[in-house]
Amino acid sequence: MSTITVYTARKIITMNPMQESATHVAVRDGRVLSVGTLADVQAWGAFTLDERFADKVLMPGLVEGHCHLKEGSMWDWTYLGWFDRRDPQGKVWAGLRSMDAVVGRLSEVAAQMAADGVPDDEPLIAWGFDPIYFGGERMTVAHVDCASTTRPIVIGHANGHLMNVNTPMLAIAEVTRDNEVEGVVKFAEGPMAGEPTGELQEPAAMYLVLRKIGTAGLLAPMTQAGVRAFARLACTQGVTTATDLVNKLGEADCAVLENVTADDDFAVRILPAFQAFHGPYGAPQGADHVKALMTRNSDRLRYGLVKMMLDGSIQGFSARLRWPGHFNGAPNGIWVTAPAQYETDFETYHRAGLIVHTHTNGDEASEVAINAIERVLTQAPRPDHRHTLQHGQMIDAPLFQRMAALGLCANLFANHLWYWGDQHYEMTMGPDRANRLDACGSALAAGVPLAIHSDAPVTPLGPLFTAWCAVNRITPKGRVLGENEKITVAQALSAVTLGAAWTLKLDHEIGSIECGKRADFCVLEDDPFTMDPATLKDARVWGTVLSGRVFPANPG
């Protein structure tokens, strides 16, 4: 006989437009049985009243439609980012505000590794490096060799699309002036002209290094500890459903995911997306693989998403842009997947009935995706497909109109407005086009289903911060990018609940608090609708409820 628990709260924000708020919610078998007043919910029979949330605000568990589980394990390596950042244990790492500071931290870590007796051939791995903040100065082997000329050093950029290494790592990777792989950057002039600078752009070039450092690098296999750390972080941010938006889904990966999510104390529902590019399979085998995995789905683990990728990153100057290109004159970016290949593979996954999430940063990449998807849908219509463009940072109103006509969803990278908004204004897009960066207002005006995201670990996981970005569109230098692209608090909170759930085709299960859905709640100390929208990011999270199980952010 299943029991009913009734939670009372200061306010329940349901995100259900048919019943916007309530004071009580009844939960049975991990699902919402009833929402309303005490009188409404007690009509369902005997219950236990739980008053622990009596002074809190409940809203639907937050849904992060584009992040990566690596957010939990990046902290095994050295953080080099420009912004201060909190690790899963709560320690705040100071941001590094100059190239010298970056080299300084690398030198300290290299010295510590030597003092600890770590073998000289074990690489020093670092992440979060963001040279665009250093006035366009590019890092080369001349910088990284200052930290060590013996131990290989590998530095991942914040955008995940670029890497820098030192001379020992170039030697191990056998990258020389004769290497013709696209993305191996070489000195244009000076005494080193023609030699590799140590910068490697996009997967093909980065693979030259990653294949040599094997398990000890940025592509290290998932670990149970890393995934558990991610879940702790998710709980502190009110997140109950999260994607892992690129995963090879090999047997070892799946074993980790299935082991960890089998534990009732695991606090987040995971949707891993199959990496349908640069993998060992052709698209037909990839589609069969995903469909076979879907038979192993559980409440906390949902296979079925497919991730494709067209271009690179805007702030890394590797995105594909339409005319007039980069504001600072940098050449156009890189196709990670050739457009013709993309269309062929997309069609295969689409015909297999799977949901495809496509990375398109620049507007040329978004247009290529829309053109390809339009042709595929004309040949093979499929109602309610939920295919989604991810990032879509420079999509304009005409492209949003075409997306709406095709039933395409947008998951826009709203955190960029804060983290790189000034760089887009000054360097990549210019003062005019920067106004349409992550144009949430235009997307909603066109009727495109909208989600917004962090792409953690590219920026920190935190949907309320992401919502704050979309509402305020403010940059660290105080600029407002595109006043008319701002969305309301209600629209932004919808984007991180029902909107994201829609792009994952889970809106029938999660995203709002209403009868029949999973009892997934984000438990808040503050009411986001009564606070000043300029402070939305500061709304305090008490913890979460996932399918009826309560997870405090601070169990101690």
Provide DSSP, 266-278. ---EEEEEEE-SS
Nearer to Zn ion, 245 or 369 (CB): 245
What is the CB neighbour count within 10 angstroms for residue 504? 27
- Contact between 303 and 272 (Cβ < 8 Å): yes
| Separation between Cα atoms, residue 306 and residue 379, nearest integer Å | 20
Nearer to Zn ion, 77 or 413 (CB): 413
Distance set, CA 550 to CA 32, 371, 511, 519, 555 (Å):
14, 45, 17, 10, 10
> Residue 249 CB, nearest distance to Zn ion (Å)?
16
Place of tokens 């990653």: 210
Q: What is the distance of C-alpha 105 from the center of its chain?
A: 26
Span of 89-97, 164-172, 240-248, 334-342 interacting with Zn ion by CB under 5 A: 240-248
> Residue 245 CB, nearest distance to Zn ion (Å)?
5
Nearer to Zn ion, 152 or 203 (CB): 203
Residue number, nearest CB to Zn ion: 455
Nearer to Zn ion, 202 or 455 (CB): 455
Nearer to Zn ion, 245 or 524 (CB): 245
> Residue 149 CB, nearest distance to Zn ion (Å)?
34
Nearer to Zn ion, 15 or 469 (CB): 469
| Separation between Cα atoms, residue 116 and residue 407, nearest integer Å | 56
Three-state SS string over 156-186 comes to EECCCCEEEECHHHHHHHCCCCCCCCCCEEE
Nearer to Zn ion, 110 or 458 (CB): 458
Residues 443-472 that bind Zn ion (CB under 5 A): 455
Residue of 304, 310, 311, 245 lying closest to 275 (CA atoms): 245
What is the CB neighbour count within 10 angstroms for residue 10? 14
Strands 196-201 and 162-165: antiparallel
Span of 208-216, 245-253, 429-437, 480-488 interacting with Zn ion by CB under 5 A: 245-253
3-state secondary structure of 322: coil
Span of 116-124, 167-175, 242-250, 254-262 interacting with Zn ion by CB under 5 A: 242-250
- Contact between 93 and 85 (Cβ < 8 Å): yes
* Tokens (6 digits) for 281: 């399979």
Q: What is the distance of C-alpha 213 from the center of its chain?
A: 25
The helix (H) or strand (E) run that includes residue 444 is helix 440-446
Span of 244-252, 310-318, 501-509, 534-542 interacting with Zn ion by CB under 5 A: 244-252
> Residue 118 CB, nearest distance to Zn ion (Å)?
31
| Separation between Cα atoms, residue 269 and residue 271, nearest integer Å | 7
> Residue 455 CB, nearest distance to Zn ion (Å)?
4
Span of 54-62, 88-96, 147-155, 237-245 interacting with Zn ion by CB under 5 A: 237-245
> Residue 302 CB, nearest distance to Zn ion (Å)?
18
Nearer to Zn ion, 64 or 455 (CB): 455
Q: Is 48 exposed, middle or buried (0-12, 13-18, 19+ CB in 10 A)?
A: exposed
- Contact between 444 and 491 (Cβ < 8 Å): yes
Span of 118-126, 239-247, 378-386, 420-428 interacting with Zn ion by CB under 5 A: 239-247
Span of 86-94, 207-215, 238-246, 423-431 interacting with Zn ion by CB under 5 A: 238-246
* Tokens (6 digits) for 481: 């990018």
Place of tokens 């339009």: 374
Q: Please give the size of the binding site for Zn ion, defined by CB under 5 A.
A: 2
> Residue 56 CB, nearest distance to Zn ion (Å)?
32
Nearer to Zn ion, 311 or 455 (CB): 455
> Residue 68 CB, nearest distance to Zn ion (Å)?
6
> Residue 316 CB, nearest distance to Zn ion (Å)?
13
> Residue 160 CB, nearest distance to Zn ion (Å)?
7
Span of 29-37, 130-138, 241-249, 514-522 interacting with Zn ion by CB under 5 A: 241-249
Strands annotated E in 43-189: 48-50, 57-60, 62-64, 78-79, 85-86, 92-93, 124-129, 153-157, 162-165, 184-186
Torsions phi, psi for 88 (to 5 deg): -60, -20
> By rule CB under 5 A, what string of x and - marks binding of each residue 140-159 to Zn ion?
--------------------
Nearer to Zn ion, 361 or 547 (CB): 361
Nearer to Zn ion, 62 or 246 (CB): 246
Span of 163-171, 243-251, 312-320, 523-531 interacting with Zn ion by CB under 5 A: 243-251
Residue 45 DSSP one-character state = -
Asked if 311 touches Zn ion (CB under 5 A), the answer is no
Nearer to Zn ion, 13 or 245 (CB): 245
Residues 60-119 that bind Zn ion (CB under 5 A): none
> Residue 359 CB, nearest distance to Zn ion (Å)?
7
| Separation between Cα atoms, residue 476 and residue 504, nearest integer Å | 32
| Residues found in the chain | 556
Applying CB under 5 A, the residues found at the interface with Zn ion are 245, 455
